[in-house]
């Protein structure tokens, strides 16, 4: 089977990994099973839920809809790489402050999508936040506090400039 | 004796959650994250037919596939093929078919488990399923509930000779009482089938631990304690050898209140193979193999005097059990039985429920479990009765609801509501909603013939929470109790463990339970660890469902904390050379009254209890206390929910413009968490009204059993919610709490549909089926117009 594997080099959360993977391996399975990056989770098998969202070269990407071999040479940021040490990313802080999570399963994807959303649009309206997070499903919060979290993060990031 | 002082620093405050740090940093311990050395992975071959005879099952092809370790059909599994149990035989003659972990001779719903492959990795196991040969001889599928109980139906379980699981009756006085009525309104409501769709798919790991005979089973479950007991009973694994852990669990909503066949298989194969066995479902598997909810046909009849005074209510349900009975499948409609009269006074109530087998995924508890169905029926028919009488729907409710001075009030269904104030919650909701302003706009839109019509939906609901008093559950033939346990320990370093029998999966128990303990112990919230969801560390418990964790489990925390202070006071008095009556306990410190210099913090008392060098005679070392609390009665949260619905009469598109709810959940431990629970419940209730529904074709093929076509509401589908609370403390528990987990889901569905119908009533519409999709609404308008 090994000859079917393909060598890839992927930087994940600042560390460069060289691995041989089956070409059919999804990026999310590569992250979870080959690298032990289990902060990124799988919520569906139809690319609807967005729980597995990561940043690939800075763009939010559902890691279930990309093959690991397609990430060859890319820089991937997961929920485990958005803050270093004790310093929380403003989006993480805002989600805690505004109670933007309950069970927390959608949270890794929700945070990564929110980071990308705010990178592209630092001052989104409520409608723009809702549309921007359309690809991330949450079953616990009804989105009310998620929207508030993103609004709060926008304030905090504005303030940080 | 020492006065226990409620320092009140933690209770009632919107403290940010302890859970969030790990959840926000990807450091959460989901079951699927567990990767033990030597683990083998299960994949399950599922039936593509709703009903078929298995004429051949050959697993040999799978065994020849790469990385496959073993494969089993029912024959190969033999005695290990244990059955899924049902613990709620609601009647003595209830029909309870065998539900083996692997199907034996027949498959009975799409997704029924036929064979299991075990391989060294999950993908190889899934690949090998395709090498299994199964020959099916398809049989007629029983899908329609009414056809299922007609005489010429095929049987889902032919050895039973019937598709009727049970018939349950309550009451009996309606037919006599209805003679006093001036108006009788009848409706048939369809409370459609829903899928829980918790975000974390189910996952289980079972591993022999190599220490003694212990097997540890990690599962994404709401009920580790119940699961341990039932797994022991059905598999024969000695209960004392089995440890069940629910690590971080990503939502449940009733869907993980279950013992699933995959948990049985993982445990049995781990025993047989002597190595860790793991299984994680795909979402598409989840949607056919995780139990579904709701699915009732509700024939409702309400009778009233011409002035609106209610005379009686008659409820005739057909409830879909699905193909098999799971843990409390037959009991779910009976939880609703008590709630059909809602908050209203009436003279008669007849209830009948017929449980029916069909070739569909089994149903069981889903957020509210019976109570949303009941609330939908009563709140919908109150609007229909108001229309028939020409009354304002809120006026009809006010005329009939239990007035605040009438509590405690025993309803026609036999429950005694302890406290409530419907007038207060309603007044606040009307104010927040601008009810009069919206009614004026509605009239203006009607008068002008606007293509977008406005409707106002009302739901004044109550529910029974805090499941439950054990005696009551026993009287209903449920085979377990409803108590809850807590042990509080102060460790030698002064840190505190609150060991609870509840099992959170998003509710924030680690934070809220710390607040309860902190308010009594005077120890900061951050120095308290809540230990839960592990039968090894928290051995006693009845877990989390039915909005019971605070109303029942919270009492146990309070009682155990108070008992701990009583014990600590005896030691502190000995240390301070005074009597316990000379002590007062303030902010975690015992002080001699009038002499605050003479003081002993709780941590120092705990260290003394640990060293045991100088304990008073008769006092045992260590500082801990426990309490097991059986509640005296349920609690009854209530609220008034109002929805402003815009309906485009040309396209059928429905827009939720404004949603206001004022809930009375009694005393709140953490208002931030309460509000979050309400929001999430609203989203699920609105989901049922407008978006969700699991449907089958006539052959029993699921039409939308995946996340692409089963429409869980997304962020653009919902508005910001306007929420507020009123508070009448419950008198059935010393904390005065009521429960909030299900309120939003119960109340919102009828509010939404009442609003849609209200927008269209002048067009001749008097009901809209759920989910109220644009096509359904448009067709309903067309039918009403054509009928004119």
Best residue in A125, A142, A143, A145 for a mutation probing chain B (most B CBs within 10 Å): A142
Q: Which residue of B has its CA nearest to A96?
A: B20
Beta strands in chain A (DSSP E): 6-12, 15-21, 53-56, 59-62, 75-77
Give the C-alpha separation, B498 to B516, whole Å. Answer: 10
How far, in whole angstroms, is CA B787 from its chain's centroid?
Answer: 41
Q: Which residue of A has its CA nearest to B685?
A: A142
Q: Count Cα neighbours of B131 within 13 Å in the Cβ-side half-sphere.
A: 19
**Interface contact flag, B28 A1, Cβ < 8 Å:** no
How far, in whole angstroms, is CA B720 from its chain's centroid?
Answer: 24
Nearest-CA distance from B17 to chain A in Å?
Answer: 7
Q: Average pLDDT, stretch B101-125?
A: 97
State pLDDT tens for residues A34-85: 999 999 999 999 999 999 999 999 999 999 999 999 999 999 999 999 997 6
Last-in-domain residue among A81, A115, A146: A81
Chain A environment of B198 (Cβ under 8 Å): 103, 105, 139
**Do A117 and A76 share a domain, yes or no?**
no
* Residue numbers of B between 330 and 389 with CB closer than 8 Å to A: none
**Do A44 and A96 share a domain, yes or no?**
no
Beta strands in B685-737 (DSSP E): 722-726
- Residue B739, chain A, CB below 8 Å: the answer is no
Spatial CB neighbours of B145, under 8 Å, sequence gap ≥ 6:
B297, B318, B320, B356, B358
Average pLDDT over chain A reads 95
Closest CB to B26 among A80, A127, A144: A80
CA distances from A158 to A87, A149, A153 (A): 17, 14, 8
**Do A63 and A39 share a domain, yes or no?**
yes
Closest CB to B251 among A78, A140, A147: A140
* Residue numbers of B between 538 and 577 with CB closer than 8 Å to A: none
Answer yes or no: are the C-beta atoms of B333 and B319 closer than 8 Å. yes
The model's pTM is 0.97
**Do A6 and A77 share a domain, yes or no?**
yes
Last-in-domain residue among A58, A81, A104: A81
Q: Name the nearest CA neighbour of B345 among B306, B373, B309.
A: B309
**Cβ-count burial of A16 within 10 angstroms (0-12 exposed, 13-18 middle, 19+ buried)?**
exposed
Q: Is the pLDDT score of B162 beyond 50?
A: yes
pLDDT the model gives residue A84: 76
**Interface contact flag, B250 A104, Cβ < 8 Å:** yes
Nearest-CA distance from B391 to chain A in Å?
Answer: 34
**Interface contact flag, A99 B714, Cβ < 8 Å:** no
Give the C-alpha separation, B590 to B567, whole Å. Answer: 12
Q: Is the pLDDT score of B1 beyond 70?
A: no
Q: What is the DSSP secondary structure assignment for residue B451, as one 8-state letter? A: S
pLDDT the model gives residue B13: 95
**Do A31 and A95 share a domain, yes or no?**
no
Secondary structure of residue B446 in the 3-state scheme: helix
Q: Is the pLDDT score of B784 beyond 60?
A: yes
Q: Average pLDDT, stretch B432-440?
A: 97
Per-residue pLDDT band for B642 (boundaries 50, 70, 90) equals: very high
**Interface contact flag, A103 B25, Cβ < 8 Å:** no
Structure tokens at B211: 């220490």
Q: Average pLDDT, stretch B719-742?
A: 95
Q: Average pLDDT, stretch A123-150?
A: 98
Q: Which residue of A has its CA nearest to B710?
A: A48
Secondary structure of residue B61 in the 3-state scheme: helix
pLDDT the model gives residue B453: 98
B215-219 and B242-245 strand pairing: parallel
Domain residue spans of chain B? 20-27+483-629, 34-139+199-251+256-289, 375-463+636-786
Chain B environment of A149 (Cβ under 8 Å): none
Per-residue pLDDT band for A161 (boundaries 50, 70, 90) equals: low
**Interface contact flag, A80 B506, Cβ < 8 Å:** no
Q: Name the nearest CA neighbour of B563 among B618, B627, B491.
A: B627
pLDDT the model gives residue B467: 78
Chain B environment of A35 (Cβ under 8 Å): none
Q: What is the DSSP secondary structure assignment for residue B717, as one 8-state letter? A: G
Give the C-alpha separation, B404 to B636, whole Å. Answer: 13
Beta strands in B47-112 (DSSP E): 52-58, 68-73, 106-107
**Interface contact flag, A45 B35, Cβ < 8 Å:** no
Q: Is the pLDDT score of B3 beyond 80?
A: no
Q: Which residue of A has its CA nearest to B671?
A: A99
Nearest-CA distance from B126 to chain A in Å?
Answer: 14
**Interface contact flag, A140 B506, Cβ < 8 Å:** yes
Per-residue pLDDT band for B2 (boundaries 50, 70, 90) equals: very low
**Do A95 and A44 share a domain, yes or no?**
no
Give the C-alpha separation, A42 to A27, whole Å. Answer: 11
Nearest-CA distance from B291 to chain A in Å?
Answer: 17
Token pair 């997304």 in the structure block, residue = B714
Q: What is the ipTM of this complex?
A: 0.97
Q: Name the nearest CA neighbour of B361 among B769, B666, B638, B704.
A: B704
Q: What percent of chain B stands above pLDDT 70?
A: 99
pLDDT the model gives residue B7: 43
Chain B environment of A136 (Cβ under 8 Å): 714-715
Give the C-alpha separation, B43 to B84, whole Å. Answer: 19
Q: Average pLDDT, stretch B189-198?
A: 98
Chain A environment of B16 (Cβ under 8 Å): 96-97, 99
Q: Which residue of B has its CA nearest to A49?
A: B707
Residue A10's domain comprises: 2-81
**Do A12 and A54 share a domain, yes or no?**
yes
Nearest-CA distance from A132 to chain B in Å?
Answer: 9
Structure tokens at B26: 């990807």
Structure tokens at B445: 């839109």
**Interface contact flag, A39 B25, Cβ < 8 Å:** yes
Nearest-CA distance from B220 to chain A in Å?
Answer: 12
- Residue B657, chain A, CB below 8 Å: the answer is no
Q: Is the pLDDT score of B5 beyond 50?
A: no
φ/ψ of residue B377, rounded to 5: -65, -50
Closest CB to A45 among B33, B283, B712: B283
**Do A15 and A69 share a domain, yes or no?**
yes
Give the C-alpha separation, B180 to B480, whole Å. Answer: 42
- Residue B119, chain A, CB below 8 Å: the answer is no
Per-residue pLDDT band for B699 (boundaries 50, 70, 90) equals: very high
Q: Name the nearest CA neighbour of A75 among A101, A57, A63.
A: A57
CA distances from B647 to A4, B607, B747, B776, B782 (A): 56, 67, 21, 12, 14
Best residue in B14, B25, B29, B289 for a mutation probing chain A (most A CBs within 10 Å): B25
Per-residue pLDDT band for B10 (boundaries 50, 70, 90) equals: confident
User: Which CATH class name applies to B20-27+483-629?
Assistant: alpha beta
Q: What is the DSSP secondary structure assignment for residue B248, as one 8-state letter? A: B
* Residue numbers of B between 679 and 698 with CB closer than 8 Å to A: 679-684
Nearest-CA distance from A147 to chain B in Å?
Answer: 8
Q: Average pLDDT, stretch B517-532?
A: 96
* Neighbour count for residue B126 (Cβ, 10 Å): 17
- Residue A1, chain B, CB below 8 Å: the answer is yes
Common-topology check for domains B34-139+199-251+256-289 and B375-463+636-786: no
Answer yes or no: are the C-beta atoms of B620 and B442 closer than 8 Å. no
Last-in-domain residue among A64, A81, A98: A81
**Interface contact flag, A39 B28, Cβ < 8 Å:** yes
pLDDT the model gives residue B446: 97
- Residue A84, chain B, CB below 8 Å: the answer is no
CA distances from B35 to B9, B69, B670, B738 (A): 41, 18, 36, 40
Q: Which residue of A has its CA nearest to B284?
A: A45
Q: Which of B311-315, B643-647, B734-738 has the weakest average pLDDT? A: B734-738
**Interface contact flag, A139 B679, Cβ < 8 Å:** no
Per-residue pLDDT band for B4 (boundaries 50, 70, 90) equals: very low
Best residue in B714, B721, B744 for a mutation probing chain A (most A CBs within 10 Å): B714
Q: Alpha-carbon torsion B321, B324, B330, B332, what sign?
A: negative
- Residue A103, chain B, CB below 8 Å: the answer is yes
Chain A environment of B28 (Cβ under 8 Å): 39, 104
Closest CB to A101 among B23, B32, B716: B23
CA distances from B588 to A59, B29, B568 (A): 50, 33, 11
pLDDT the model gives residue A1: 46
**Do A64 and A95 share a domain, yes or no?**
no
Number of structural domains found in chain A: 2
**Interface contact flag, A139 B283, Cβ < 8 Å:** no
Give the C-alpha separation, B525 to B511, whole Å. Answer: 8
- Residue B30, chain A, CB below 8 Å: the answer is yes
Q: Alpha-carbon torsion B173, B174, B179, B182, what sign?
A: positive
Per-residue pLDDT band for A160 (boundaries 50, 70, 90) equals: low
- Residue B655, chain A, CB below 8 Å: the answer is no
**Do A95 and A77 share a domain, yes or no?**
no
**Interface contact flag, B720 A126, Cβ < 8 Å:** yes
Chain A environment of B672 (Cβ under 8 Å): 99
Give the C-alpha separation, B481 to B469, whole Å. Answer: 7
Q: Average pLDDT, stretch B362-379?
A: 97
pLDDT the model gives residue B244: 98
Q: Specify the CATH number for the domain of residue A66.
A: 3.10.20.30
Structure tokens at B46: 């599922």
Per-residue pLDDT band for B210 (boundaries 50, 70, 90) equals: confident
State pLDDT tens for residues B442-494: 999 999 999 999 999 999 999 999 877 898 889 899 988 999 999 999 999 99
Q: Specify the CATH number for the domain of residue A131.
A: 1.10.150.120
Looking at domain B34-139+199-251+256-289, which of 3.40.1160.10, 3.40.50.2300, 3.90.1170.50, 1.25.40.10 is its CATH number?
3.90.1170.50
pLDDT the model gives residue B391: 98
Q: Which residue of B has its CA nearest to A26?
A: B123
Range B375-463+636-786 classified under CATH 3.30.365.10: yes
**Interface contact flag, A131 B27, Cβ < 8 Å:** no
Average pLDDT over chain B reads 96
pLDDT the model gives residue B212: 79
pLDDT the model gives residue B466: 85
**Do A8 and A76 share a domain, yes or no?**
yes
**Do A61 and A100 share a domain, yes or no?**
no
Answer yes or no: are the C-beta atoms of B592 and B575 closer than 8 Å. no
Closest CB to B679 among A78, A105, A145: A145
Answer yes or no: are the C-beta atoms of B20 and A95 closer than 8 Å. yes
Nearest-CA distance from A102 to chain B in Å?
Answer: 5
**DSSP codes joined into one string, B138-205:** E------HHHHTSTTPPPSSTTTT-SEEEEEEE---HHHHGGG-SEEEEEEEEEEEE----SS--EEE
- Residue A151, chain B, CB below 8 Å: the answer is no
Q: Which of A140-144, B295-299, B661-665, B734-738 has the weakest average pLDDT? A: B734-738
């Amino acid at each position: 089977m090994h000859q079917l594997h393909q060598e890839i080099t992927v930087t994940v959360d600042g560390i460069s990994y060289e691995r041989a993977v089956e070409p059919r391996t999804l990026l999310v399975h590569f992250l979870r099973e080959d690298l032990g990056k289990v902060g990124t989770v799988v919520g569906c098998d139809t690319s609807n839920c967005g729980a597995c969202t990561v940043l690939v070269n800075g763009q939010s990407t559902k890691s279930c809809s990309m093959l690991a071999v397609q990430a060859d040479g890319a820089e991937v940021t997961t929920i485990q790489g958005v803050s270093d040490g004790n310093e929380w990313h403003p989006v993480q802080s805002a989600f805690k402050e505004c109670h933007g999570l309950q069970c927390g399963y959608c949270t890794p994807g929700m945070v990564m999508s929110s980071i990308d959303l705010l990178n592209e649009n630092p001052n989104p309206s409520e409608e723009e936040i809702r549309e921007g997070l359309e690809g991330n499903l949450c079953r616990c919060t009804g989105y009310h506090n998620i929207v508030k979290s993103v609004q709060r993060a926008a304030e905090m990031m504005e303030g940080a400039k | 004796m020492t006065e226990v002082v409620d320092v009140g620093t933690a209770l009632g405050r919107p403290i940010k959650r302890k859970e969030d740090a790990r959840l926000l940093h990807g450091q959460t311990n989901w079951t699927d994250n567990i990767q033990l050395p030597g683990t083998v992975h299960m994949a399950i071959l599922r039936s593509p037919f709703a009903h078929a005879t298995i004429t051949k099952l050959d697993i040999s092809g799978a065994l020849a596939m790469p990385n496959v370790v073993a494969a089993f059909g029912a024959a190969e599994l033999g005695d290990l093929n244990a059955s899924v149990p049902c613990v709620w035989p609601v009647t003595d003659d209830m029909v309870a078919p065998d539900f083996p972990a692997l199907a034996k001779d027949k498959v009975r719903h799409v997704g029924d488990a036929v064979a299991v492959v075990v391989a060294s990795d999950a993908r190889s196991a899934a690949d090998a399923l395709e090498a299994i040969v199964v020959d099916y001889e398809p049989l007629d599928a029983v899908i329609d509930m009414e056809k299922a109980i007609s005489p010429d139906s095929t049987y889902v379980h032919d050895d039973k000779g019937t598709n009727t699981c049970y018939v349950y009756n309550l009451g009996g006085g309606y037919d006599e009482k209805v003679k006093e009525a001036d108006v009788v309104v009848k409706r048939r409501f369809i409370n459609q089938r829903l899928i829980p769709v918790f975000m974390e798919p189910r996952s289980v790991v079972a591993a022999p631990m190599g220490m003694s005979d212990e097997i540890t089973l990690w599962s994404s479950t709401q009920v580790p304690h119940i699961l341990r007991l039932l797994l022991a009973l059905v598999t024969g694994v000695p209960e004392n050898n089995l440890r069940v852990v629910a690590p971080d669990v990503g939502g449940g909503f009733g869907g993980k209140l279950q013992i699933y066949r995959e948990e049985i298989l993982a445990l049995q194969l781990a025993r047989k193979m002597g190595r860790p066995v793991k299984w994680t479902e795909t979402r598409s598997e989840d949607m056919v193999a995780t139990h579904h909810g709701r699915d009732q046909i509700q024939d409702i009849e309400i009778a009233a005097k011409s002035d609106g005074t209610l005379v009686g209510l008659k409820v005739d349900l057909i409830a879909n059990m699905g193909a098999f009975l799971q843990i409390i499948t037959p009991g779910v409609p009976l939880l609703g039985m008590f709630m059909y009269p809602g908050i209203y006074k009436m003279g008669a109530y007849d209830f009948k429920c017929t449980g029916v087998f069909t070739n569909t995924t089994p149903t069981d508890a889903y957020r509210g479990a019976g109570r949303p169905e009941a609330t939908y029926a009563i709140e919908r028919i109150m609007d229909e009765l108001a229309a028939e009488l020409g009354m304002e729907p809120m006026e009809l409710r006010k005329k009939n609801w239990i007035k605040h001075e009438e509590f405690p009030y025993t309803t026609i269904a036999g429950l005694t509501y302890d406290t409530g104030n419907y007038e207060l919650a309603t007044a606040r909701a009307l104010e927040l909603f601008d009810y009069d302003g919206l009614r004026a706009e509605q009239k203006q839109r009607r008068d002008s013939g606007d293509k977008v019509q406005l409707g106002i939906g009302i739901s004044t609901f109550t529910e029974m929470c805090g499941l439950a008093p054990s005696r009551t559950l026993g009287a209903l033939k449920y085979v377990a109790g409803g108590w809850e346990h807590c042990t509080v320990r102060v460790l030698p370093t002064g840190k505190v463990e609150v060991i609870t029998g509840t099992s959170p999966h998003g509710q924030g128990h680690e934070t809220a339970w710390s607040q309860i303990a902190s308010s009594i112990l005077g120890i900061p919230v951050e120095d308290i660890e809540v230990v839960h969801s592990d039968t090894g560390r928290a051995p006693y418990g009845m877990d989390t469902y039915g909005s019971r964790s605070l109303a029942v489990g919270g009492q146990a925390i309070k009682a155990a904390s108070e008992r701990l202070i009583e014990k600590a006071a005896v030691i502190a008095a000995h240390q301070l050379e005074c009597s316990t009556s000379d002590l007062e306990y303030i902010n975690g410190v015992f002080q001699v009254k009038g002499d605050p210099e003479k003081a002993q913090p709780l941590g120092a008392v705990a260290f003394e209890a640990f060293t045991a060098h100088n304990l008073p005679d008769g006092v045992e070392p260590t500082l801990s206390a426990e309490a097991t609390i059986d509640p005296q009665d349920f609690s009854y949260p209530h609220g008034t929910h109002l929805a402003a619905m815009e309906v485009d009469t040309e396209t059928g598109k429905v827009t939720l413009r404004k949603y206001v709810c004022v809930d009375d959940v009694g005393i709140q431990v953490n208002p931030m968490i309460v509000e979050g629970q309400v929001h999430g419940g609203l989203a699920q209730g609105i989901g049922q009204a407008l978006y969700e529904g699991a449907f089958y074709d006539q052959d029993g093929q699921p039409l939308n059993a995946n996340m692409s076509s089963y429409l869980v509401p997304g962020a653009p589908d919902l508005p910001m919610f306007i929420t507020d609370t009123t508070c009448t403390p419950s008198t059935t528990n010393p904390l005065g709490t009521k429960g909030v987990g299900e309120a939003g889901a119960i109340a919102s569905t009828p509010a939404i549909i009442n609003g849609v119908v209200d927008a269209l009533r002048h067009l001749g519409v008097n009901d809209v089926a759920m989910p109220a999709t644009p096509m359904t609404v448009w067709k309903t308008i067309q039918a009403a117009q054509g009928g004119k």
